[in-house]
Amino acid sequence: MAFNDDDKKMAAKADTLMTQALATSKVSADSYASKDEAMALTKGDINKMAVRSLLLQASFNYERMQAGGWLYTLMPALRKIHNNKSDLKNSMHMHMEFINVHPFDVTFLSGLVLAMERGKENISTIRAVKVALMGPLGGIGDALFWLTLLPICAGIGASLALEGSLFGPIIFLLMFNSVHFAIRFGLAHYGYNAGTSALPLLKANTKRISHAASIVGMTVIGALVASYVRLSTPLEITAGQAHIALQTQVLDKLMPNLLPLGFTLLVYALMKRNFSPVKLIGLTVVFGVIGKLIGLL
């Protein structure tokens, strides 16, 4: 079948329109339909967010960790920010992704995220900031609350209780929660105000900030793998009378924590193939038990 010049022009035009449509769909998937900056959140809105953050871990699970509680924390403010139903849906979908942060200083991150949501930052930028900050905030929260504030307050309360004072536990609860709530609400307002004042800078350097945040996030993940994933083998290589320990004399010489890294990458590859976290936990347990029984691990 022969095509004339008009047919070729129409085909070329259709090709161009299809390319433009695909490009537009890719952009819209990462950006909000409404670009108008929403009205500023009030102090009441931020305080409400801080109060709701107390239920951050109410729906904790091993697939998304604190995602349900995180979205519950942000939900009233997100409804106020996004009048467009499609934008609200995209925002909710993104905030139901995996997140695990310290439950006491989470309000700094949620305040910052709400400021970025109000400024209609790209979804990928908001996601990158979340990933980059949740690790450091977890470490800071552990050091500040569990390793510093809790022992001090518990020590004072316990010393009073040992002396027979009924005020021991009361003093402990008052001291600990006074600091806890002051930090929780203070960080909520500080995070939101810091994010609002930084929005012009964020808009001017979105790609750089997103790239930098992604690098920080990957660095944190790499450190977590090296610190928390434990995997080694007792196998030895025998060559004549020589016995070479595979773990210490070969693998560790090539790169420390090579096996934990390899196992983490394997789990990641399986997750990309839609293996659920529950299945991966089961496979990890089976692999560990069998590996120990046959002398591989």
The reported pLDDT for the residue numbered 147 is 80
Range of lowest pLDDT (61-70, 123-132, 202-211): 202-211
pLDDT in tens, 224-259: 777 778 888 888 888 777 778 888 788 888 888 888
pLDDT of 56: 95
Indicate the pLDDT class of residue 198, thresholds 50, 70 and 90: low
Residue 26 has pLDDT above 50, yes or no: no
| Beta bridge partner(s), residue 245 | 236
Q: Provide the pLDDT confidence category of residue 55 given band limits of 50, 70 and 90.
A: very high
- What is the residue extent of each domain of the chain? 43-224, 233-293
Asked if pLDDT for residue 51 goes beyond 90, the answer is yes
Provide the residue type at 1 as one letter.
M
In 97-252, which ranges are E strands?
Answer: 236-239, 242-245
Contacts (Cβ under 8 Å, ≥6 apart) of 257: 225, 226, 229
pLDDT tens-digit map of 258-273 = 888 888 888 888 888 8
User: C-alpha dihedral over 242, 245, 248, 254, to 10 degrees?
Assistant: 80
For residues 197 and 2, which has the higher predicted lDDT (pLDDT)?
197
Residue 99 in this model has a pLDDT that exceeds 60: yes
Residue 247 Cα to chain centre, angstroms? 32
In terms of C-beta density within 10 A (0-12 exposed, 13-18 middle, 19 or more buried), how is residue 162 classed?
exposed
Helix (H, G, I), strand (E, B) or coil at 233: coil
Query: Is pLDDT at 281 greater than 50 in this prediction?
Result: yes
Contact 71, 47 (CB under 8 A): no
258 or 214, which is more confident: 258
For the segment 88-109, the average pLDDT, to the nearest whole number, is: 93
What is the mean predicted confidence (pLDDT) over 265-294? 87
Task: Determine the pLDDT at residue 278.
Answer: 84
Average pLDDT of the residues in 29-56: 89
- As a whole-number percent, the residues of the chain with pLDDT over 90 amount to 33
pLDDT of residue 1 exceeding 50, the answer is: no
Helix 67-81 × helix 106-118 angle, to 10°? 30
Confidence of residue 213 (pLDDT cuts 50, 70, 90): low
Mean pLDDT of 128-138: 83
The backbone torsions φ and ψ at residue 4, rounded to the nearest 5 degrees and listed phi first, read -85, 180
Q: DSSP states of 46-109 as a string?
A: HHHHHHHGGGTTTT-BTTTBTHHHHHHHHHHHHHHH--SHHHHHHHHHHHTS-B---TTTHHHH
Across residues 110-129, what is the average pLDDT? 90
Q: If pLDDT is split at 50, 70 and 90, which confidence band does 297 have?
A: confident
| For the ranges 119-123, 173-177, 199-203, the one whose mean pLDDT is highest | 173-177
